[in-house]
Each structure stands twice: as structure tokens, then as C-alpha cells.
């Protein structure tokens, strides 16, 4: 199934619309500063995003107040980047719908990442924009070597998102 994680069916327009939001939640961010989720968090903050950490087991991440659930965030966010397990993703997308968050990105680089077919279907049924898979680093301007290479490989293999047809 295309929505199972390759990000197929996701358009470049949807990705750019997500990245145009400047206040986003990052659900499932790790408390371990060496974790990839923290590196992505730091990079988004460096680029001017107001990233709000969400982890029910933390009160602070990288000096920022951490929320247990996206519904608790004040003021609210415009989008949510999920760094969760697929099983947790199913709960978090329900939380996003309850909080009025209409844009969700289920992170994926290797393995299953945060992608859950059930969660993708829920988002689609709710009319939420969803990016099921992909690594945000591939779509950030002037990104580093390995991320640029990852994007290039996806382009030549036909797995890089394209613009929506008009």
C-alpha cells in the first residue's frame, strides 16, 4: 500500500505546506540528546521554527517546556511531526484531530519510522493533510550531505514526492 510508508501519494506541495508552518509540535522527541529526533529538533529550531516538544515522560527538552500531549500545548501549534512508534502514532493522530491540528508528518527514514497505515487512513478520513513517511531533512534548503544524497537517491528511483497535477 502506498501509504504504508514510502510517502508515495504525498505531494511536494503537501510537504512544502507543512514546512511553511513555523510553530510545530514534535511528538515522541527523545530525552537522549544524542537521539536523531533531538538532532532534527535542534536543526528546525536553528532554522527559525518554533518547535514544541511532546513527550509524556519529560517536562523539558533542550531547554524548552515539554508537553505530555498535543492537546495541552498553549498557544496551539499549526502542525505535528511524529517521531513515535507506529503504535503510538495511532494515538497521537487522534490527539492531533482533537487539538485541531490539520497537518501531520509521520517521520520515516529507515524501517517503519512513525508510519501506521491505520493512522494514515484516520488522517485521510478526518481531512487532515498527512505526510506518511519521508525525512524532513531531505526537504530543508541547503541540507547536509547524507540528507541531500538520500533525496537524490529517492529522485532517481522515483520515490521522491512530486508536485500535484493542476
Number of domains in the chain: 1
Position 163 in a domain:
no
Is residue 20 classed as helix, strand or coil in its secondary structure?
helix
Cα–Cα nearest to 161, from 13, 44, 20, 1: 13
The answer as to whether 165 is a domain residue is no
Q: What is the CATH number of the domain that holds 135?
A: 3.40.50.720
CB contact at 8 A, 99 and 74: no
Question: pTM for the full model?
Answer: 0.84
* Whether residue 56 has a cis bond before it, omega within 30° of 0: no
* Inside any domain, residue 111: yes
Render pLDDT for 81-122 as a digit per residue (tens, 0 to 9).
999 999 999 999 999 999 999 999 999 866 678 999 999 999
140 band by pLDDT with thresholds 50, 70 and 90: confident
Under DSSP, the state recorded for 62 is T
Domain enclosing residue 14, as ranges: 2-156
Instruction: Give the whole-angstrom CA distance, residue 139 versus residue 141.
Output: 6
Helix/strand/coil for 57: coil
Q: Is residue 162 included in any domain, yes or no? A: no
- Give the model confidence (pLDDT) of 27-68 as tens digits: 999 999 999 899 999 999 999 999 999 999 999 998 999 999
- The backbone torsions φ and ψ at residue 81, rounded to the nearest 5 degrees and listed phi first, read -105, 120
In a domain, 166, yes or no: no
Q: Are 104 and 123 in contact (CB under 8 A)?
A: yes
Residue 87 lies in a domain: yes
Q: Are 108 and 134 in contact (CB under 8 A)?
A: yes
Residue 20 located in a structural domain: yes
| CB-neighbour burial class of residue 25 (10 A; exposed 0-12, middle 13-18, buried 19+) | buried
In a domain, 99, yes or no: yes
At 152 the pLDDT is 54
Amino acid at each position: 500500500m502506498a501509504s504504508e510508508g514510502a510517502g508515495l501519494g504525498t505531494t511536494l506541495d503537501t510537504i512544502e505546506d507543512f514546512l511553511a508552518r513555523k510553530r510545530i509540535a514534535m511528538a515522541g522527541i527523545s530525552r537522549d540528546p544524542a537521539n536523531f529526533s533531538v538532532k532534527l529538533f535542534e536543526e528546525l529550531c536553528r532554522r527559525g521554527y518554533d518547535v514544541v516538544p511532546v513527550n509524556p515522560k519529560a517536562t523539558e527538552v533542550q531547554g524548552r517546556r515539554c508537553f505530555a500531549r498535543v492537546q495541552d500545548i498553549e498557544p496551539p501549534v499549526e502542525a505535528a511531526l511524529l517521531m513515535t512508534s507506529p503504535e503510538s502514532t495511532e494515538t497521537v493522530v487522534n490527539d492531533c484531530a482533537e487539538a485541531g491540528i490539520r497537518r501531520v508528518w509521520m517521520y520515516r527514514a529507515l524501517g517503519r519510522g512513525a508510519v501506521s497505515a491505520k493512522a494514515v487512513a484516520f488522517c485521510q478520513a478526518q481531512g487532515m493533510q498527512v505526510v506518511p513517511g519521508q525525512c524532513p531533512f531531505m526537504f530543508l534548503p541547503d541540507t547536509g550531505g547524507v540528507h541531500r544524497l538520500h533525496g537524490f537517491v529517492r529522485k532517481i528511483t522515483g520515490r521522491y514526492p512530486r508536485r500535484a497535477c493542476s
